Amino acid sequence: MMDKIAIIGGGPTGIGVARELIEDGFAVDLYEAEADLGGVWNAEAPCGRAYASLHLISPKFNTQVPDFPMPEDYPPYPNHRQMLAYIRDYARAHGIYERARFNAAVERLEPVAGGWTLRSAAGHFETYRLVVVCNGLQRVPRLPDTSGLGTFAGTILHARDYKSAEQLKGQRVLVVGGGNSGCDIAVDAMRTAACVHHSTRRGYYYQPKFINGKPTPQWMMELGNKFATREETLAYIEEVFRFAGYDGADYGLPRPDYPLDAAHPVMNSLILYHIGHGDIVPKGDIASLDGNTVAFADGSSGEFDTILYATGYSRDFPFLDRDMLEWKGEIPDLFLHSTPRNHDNLLFMGFINAAGGLGDGLKTQGLFVRNYARALFARSAGLERFLAAKKTDRPDLGEGYFIDSYRHQWEADLWKLLSHMRRYRDMLAEGDPAPGHALTETLAR
């Protein structure tokens, strides 16, 4: 068995993990199903989830990797083409293209003593000491169960299928889903559709992209410890949003029954503006479907040509038998949302959400994998301590604070997540025979 590491997926997380491993001297093969890197930002590929007008919802300052800043001429919220160019520039700068195998979707992972055999659609068949799965959260569309509601005679789309407002030109459109994708698509579709209705199931907090001339996350961070308690800080932020015109209740929408930070933020400066102008009509849950007629829980109804579901995605690991993993409901039960408790040669990175930009999380995950690989290959004291800890520890990532929904099963408090990842990363480094250096000498023993 060669002392090599396989990475499955060439999106931002796979690229970030590859960078750290390559810099530490590990032999890496990155398997990408498409013809180029980029993941969800690779708009022209089947894996792409970008549409013509899409911009980031996280600002430039915390999306960029700290030691690889975005170009100075990028705006505070880059568009998807700029993001893709940045990701690929990052990959080129760190030697990742030379380690990538394109058009090579992984078809099968099988455990063998001390590692995994991997087979790809391009004919690769190799064995690896460690496999890092980075195939992303946005893979298989998740559609609501409408059985018992009737049948819709029009077109049914998922956010995955949306590429441009021209798709919906002249149509009566119902967008279902109150997250960032649902709000962004409703605003975009409004430009060409005959009408747009927006169905959401609860109250949401809508955050503007700018406050006081700064990206809102930056403004929030700069509040620091201005207030004595978390509750006081949240109350102040809500008050500022309300004065700025971003309280959904002022537009007739349900008031959230949870704290501001208990759900993934909806960053959209335009959804309430267009609701206030009648360009988007808010609705509650769907009660029934009958031909082109959709009835809602409030007793109203409307005629629609298209329903577009922005209702998220399901986890999908087609190369692994389901019973190879331990599950908690509909998602794998992973320590730190990354490490199977029943496998020591397999990691899952990029399968957690937190209210922050890509940069810090990308770096933190990459460094965690680097330390894990060092410890695994050396069978260090730190590895043995970590393998024992992952069986018993239940670190508080703040999950119990968030609302009860499918996507919030893997939502975490950013600062708690980063703190625990660093703590366990340091644990893995205990007894490292060659910290900060490739394990050439150790592996030769």
Residue 337's nearest CA partner among 386, 377, 394, 379 is 394
> 80-93 and 12-23 are packed helices; what angle lies between their axes, rounded to 10 degrees?
20
Low-confidence ranges of the chain (pLDDT < 70): 1-2, 432-445
Quote the CA–CA distance of 83 and 8 in Å, as a whole number.
21
Give residue 438's pLDDT: 42
Give residue 440's pLDDT: 38
Quote the CA–CA distance of 182 and 308 in Å, as a whole number.
9
Give residue 439's pLDDT: 43
For the chain, helix (H) and strand (E) counts, in that order, are 11, 29
Give residue 71's pLDDT: 98
Instruction: Record the tokens describing residue 214, joined without a space.
Output: 């700064």
What is the set of domains in the chain, with CATH numbers?
4-140+313-444 (3.50.50.60), 143-309 (3.50.50.60)
Quote the CA–CA distance of 324 and 332 in Å, as a whole number.
10
Give residue 437's pLDDT: 42
Q: Using an 8 Å Cβ cutoff, are 136 and 123 in contact?
A: no
Instruction: Record the tokens describing residue 53, joined without a space.
Output: 């007008």
- In the block, which residue shows the tokens 């406050």? 211
Q: Using an 8 Å Cβ cutoff, are 117 and 110 in contact?
A: yes
pLDDT digits (tens, 9 = 90+) for 365-407: 999 999 999 999 999 999 999 999 999 999 999 989 999 999 8
Quote the CA–CA distance of 248 and 270 in Å, as a whole number.
12
Distance from the first to the final alpha carbon of the chain: 15
Look at phi and psi of residue 56 and say left if phi exceeds 0, alpha if psi is from -120 to 50, else beta: beta
For 3-36, give one letter per residue: b (16+ CB within 10 A) or e: bbbbbbbbbbbbbbbbbbbbebebebbbbbbbeb
Instruction: Record the tokens describing residue 391, joined without a space.
Output: 């069986």
Quote the CA–CA distance of 192 and 194 in Å, as a whole number.
7
Give residue 434's pLDDT: 52
Instruction: Record the tokens describing residue 129, joined without a space.
Output: 């000491």
Quote the CA–CA distance of 437 and 24 in Å, as a whole number.
6
Neighbours of 182 (CB within 10 A): 25
